[in-house]
Amino acid sequence: MIDKIDQLLKQVEAATPVTEEEIEQFRIEYLGRKGILKALAGEFKEVPGEQKRDVGQALNALKQKVTAKVEELKAGAQRNALASGPALDLTRPHGGIPLGARHPISVVRREIIEIFNRIGFTVAEGPEVEDDWHVFSGLNFPPEHPARDMQDTFFVEGDNDLLLRTHTSSVQVREMNKRRPPIRIVMPGRVFRNEAVSARSHCAFHQIEGLYIDKEVSFADLKQTLLYFAREFFGKAKIRLRPSYFPFTEPSAEMDVYWGLETETDYRITKGTGWLEVLGCGMVDPNVLQSSDIDPAVYSGFAFGMGIERIAMLRYQIGDLRMFFENDVRFLDQFGPVS
């Protein structure tokens, strides 16, 4: 059997297949399921015990030789294909490669995060599929609150405790349960609500919220933080806070930025008042702190949240929310190439 293997080694060395089809046929002849090496492995069972070592080594040498030969032939065929291919025309003018554009939601999201990073806020994220505790109960939503109704929330079928989060406030609960104050975070993410898709609303959109908890945090701290944001992002130095209601903050407020009345567009988007609603905010309700085992007698905090699409619509004067989700290249190219 050793002589037979030696003869096959000589045949392998002398083989000169050229085309890809010939090389593949050569491979199958030796390494295929019904190939020569498979047949030799069957004959190996009949080799006397004292010869098995030498014969086994010879078989391995043959297999390695065939494998190396196949790789060598394939590499040669690829080189020949490249050499015989069309020549590179160095005189052809460069046509330019179009660059992709960063999505306006990503642009605005990154800028907002960078603004709050500069005053010590870090980014925290959480899952989009959440449970009732993190979305509602841990945020002081009573059982009868309308936000729990099926008309507003997408529940996971067959499990009323699992749902698509309706706000990124669920990350606040997770972070308060996971770490101890001081906590200073912003939480960007996608949220879902059971709403009709129109120029002003969508069933999926993006939010970014902020949370600051420490000793002796006051409403004045909240106002100064939001004024800083308005100046940095909008270039506006005048804001106002109107009383509002949120289950997880007390007191609560809506923040307006004074947009001005310099153009016809200003009159239209501010309805002639010059003021534009930007976000909701408030002091964290003591019940929310207690539910996360944070002592409200020692710690206080504030929270705020805004829709990224709304901020982007204001920044770029976009009149239809649906444009953010259609991925029309003509729309996206307006925001410049990815940097």
| Predicted confidence (pLDDT) at residue 131 exceeds the cutoff of 70 | yes
Whether residue 315 sits in one domain with residue 200 = yes
Q: What is the mean pLDDT of the segment spanning 101-116?
A: 91
Distance CA 33, CA 258 (A): 78
Boundary of a domain, candidates 51, 83, 115: 83
| Predicted confidence (pLDDT) at residue 19 exceeds the cutoff of 90 | no
Q: What is the mean pLDDT of the segment spanning 157-171?
A: 85
Least confident of 79-93, 155-169, 175-189: 79-93
**pLDDT for residue 267:** 82
Percent of the chain with pLDDT over 70: 93
Distance CA 223, CA 255 (A): 9
**pLDDT for residue 215:** 95
Tokens of 250: 């007390």
Whether residue 76 sits in one domain with residue 128 = no
Whether residue 157 sits in one domain with residue 25 = no
Whether residue 108 sits in one domain with residue 63 = no
Distance CA 305, CA 283 (A): 12
Boundary of a domain, candidates 49, 83, 117: 83
| Predicted confidence (pLDDT) at residue 98 exceeds the cutoff of 80 | no
Tens of pLDDT, residues 238-291:
999 999 999 899 999 999 999 888 888 778 878 888 898 899 999 999 999 999
**pLDDT for residue 151:** 56
335 or 290, higher pLDDT: 290
Could you tell me if residue 99 is inside a domain? no
Could you tell me if residue 218 is inside a domain? yes
| Alpha carbon separation from 35 to 41, 62, 251 (Å, rounded) | 10, 13, 81
Tens of pLDDT, residues 203-237:
888 999 999 999 999 999 999 999 999 999 988 88
87 or 192, higher pLDDT: 192
Residue with structure tokens 């209601």?
Answer: 245
User: Which range is most confident: 57-66, 298-307, 313-322?
Assistant: 298-307
**What total of structural domains would you count in the chain?**
2
| Predicted confidence (pLDDT) at residue 115 exceeds the cutoff of 80 | yes
| Predicted confidence (pLDDT) at residue 95 exceeds the cutoff of 90 | no
Distance CA 302, CA 285 (A): 9
pTM over 0.85: no
134 or 302, higher pLDDT: 302
Whether residue 253 sits in one domain with residue 119 = yes
Could you tell me if residue 236 is inside a domain? yes
Range of the domain at 188: 104-335
**pLDDT for residue 203:** 86
Distance CA 9, CA 142 (A): 82
Q: Helix, strand, or coil here: 76?
A: helix
**pLDDT for residue 149:** 66
Q: Kindly write down the DSSP assignment for every residue of 60-80, as one continuous string.
A: HHHHHHHHHHHHHHHHHHHHH
24 or 209, higher pLDDT: 209
User: Which range is most confident: 21-25, 65-69, 215-219?
Assistant: 215-219
For the chain, report the end-to-end CA distance as a whole number of angstroms.
67
Strand partners, 187: 209
Q: What is the mean pLDDT of the segment spanning 21-29?
A: 86
Residue with structure tokens 């898709």?
Answer: 197
